[in-house]
Structure 1
């Protein structure tokens, strides 16, 4: 309404307003796709964990020729379930500890850019943890050690995480993207992470 009342020589502001409106729509749509893809990974990884676990195991056997096997037992199965629950809880904790401050920063002047960059870094780290976890969990690494693996693998891990995020945000493609990222994450760890692991964490 205010733009409609502007003098004729300021009509260009209406075009700028339209461009900015469209730009905001595109950004919001991209953020929505990113959130949907991120949630899909979290729930998809849980629902498809038996299949993804087997996929990761077989790829590691083919790639390295070795495999860190543990004797199957009820106790070891219960421990694995407990570790998986703790892993998910710690990821949620990481999201809350870092994500909430980023959300608050977003309301400060100029904070949107910082919050956006911080959010991308956070989600990229979580995505790397998810797709590296099959390999890393077989070595019984602690959560901090897994984060250290992601950090020490930079910038390759950041590139990997961003590509995975792109795959999981594309509708329909994201259903195929999750197993593809699991496979890629396993191969990434076999080639880049395994040579640098401590001897007691190797196969």
Structure 2
């Protein structure tokens, strides 16, 4: 597998540093307010669903004393699954609403990192013009996510088997966080969704290293509000740097020296 896990974990830290830069701060405020509204609505809805789901699932279990005595464990496991589902559910809704802003934030971040602007940067007018394309791109990610998430969710409802599934959920969410956010700079370069997936597979360890702290941050209430824009900036740094690492490896350079 290509990439470097520890290098990947550093991109989110860089993203938090970047969102404080004067040229980028104003593109973070509006998405933050939208994220707050999404979080409140999603938390209320999932909390209500969770309180209804657990008693129903426990009612399906065989009437074995030892199994019924473990109901506290099932509450913890199902709670972990719901938290993980909420984490990416929040990301899906927040990014679906804020995708045009995040695409432009990624453009501005790349300009700050490389000193070169993308050809079609056009300010707020360009943001509005890109709304249909940005929404379609978000839908592609949802279509990729949903069948895999539904399969994991169904398996997680099976007692005993659901314990390892919680770890699979976490790994899958880490991968999806990398896919979700690196998509913004990739889309700005007009790369297809298939090209994005191929790029992440070629830097898989870096992708998992980046996605892991993003997934953790997305599960922490209030912190997840600022993780989203920080992840956009961090993913842009990921895109710029990992592309360069791949290019250097392709031509046989290490540390900037030709082999």
Which of 235, 241, 246 is equivalent to 1:196?
246
Given the superposition, is the C-alpha separation of residues 103 and 175 from structure 1 closer, same or farther in structure 2, using an over 3 Å criterion?
Answer: closer
1:153–1:193 contact (8 Å) kept in structure 2: no
Between structure 1 and structure 2, the one with the greater Rg is 1
For 1:152, the equivalent position in structure 2 comes to: 202
For 1:85, the equivalent position in structure 2 comes to: 135
Q: Name structure 2 gaps, 5 residues minimum.
A: 1-62, 248-259
Report the count of equivalent residues: 182
Q: Name structure 1 gaps, 5 residues minimum.
A: 4-12, 198-203
Indicate the SS of the match to 2:142: helix
Given the superposition, is the C-alpha separation of residues 42 and 196 from structure 1 closer, same or farther in structure 2, using an over 3 Å criterion?
Answer: same
Q: Distance in 1 between matches of 2:128 and 2:225?
A: 29
1:137 is displaced (CA, Å) by: 0.7
TM-score by length of 2: 0.58
2:152–2:169 contact (8 Å) kept in structure 1: yes
Given the superposition, is the C-alpha separation of residues 44 and 139 from structure 1 closer, same or farther in structure 2, using an over 3 Å criterion?
Answer: same
Taking only aligned residues, the RMSD between alpha carbons, in angstroms, comes to: 3.3
1:32 is displaced (CA, Å) by: 2.0
Given the superposition, is the C-alpha separation of residues 150 and 71 from structure 1 closer, same or farther in structure 2, using an over 3 Å criterion?
Answer: closer
For 2:233, the equivalent position in structure 1 comes to: 183
Select the structure with the greater relative contact order (CA < 8 A; seq sep ≥ 6): 2
Per mean C-alpha deviation after superposition, the further-off stretch among 143-152 and 112-121 is 112-121
For 2:83, the equivalent position in structure 1 comes to: 33
TM-score by length of 1: 0.72
1:155 is displaced (CA, Å) by: 0.8
Which of 99, 104, 118 is equivalent to 1:49?
99
1:105–1:114 contact (8 Å) kept in structure 2: no
Given the superposition, is the C-alpha separation of residues 105 and 142 from structure 1 closer, same or farther in structure 2, using an over 3 Å criterion?
Answer: same
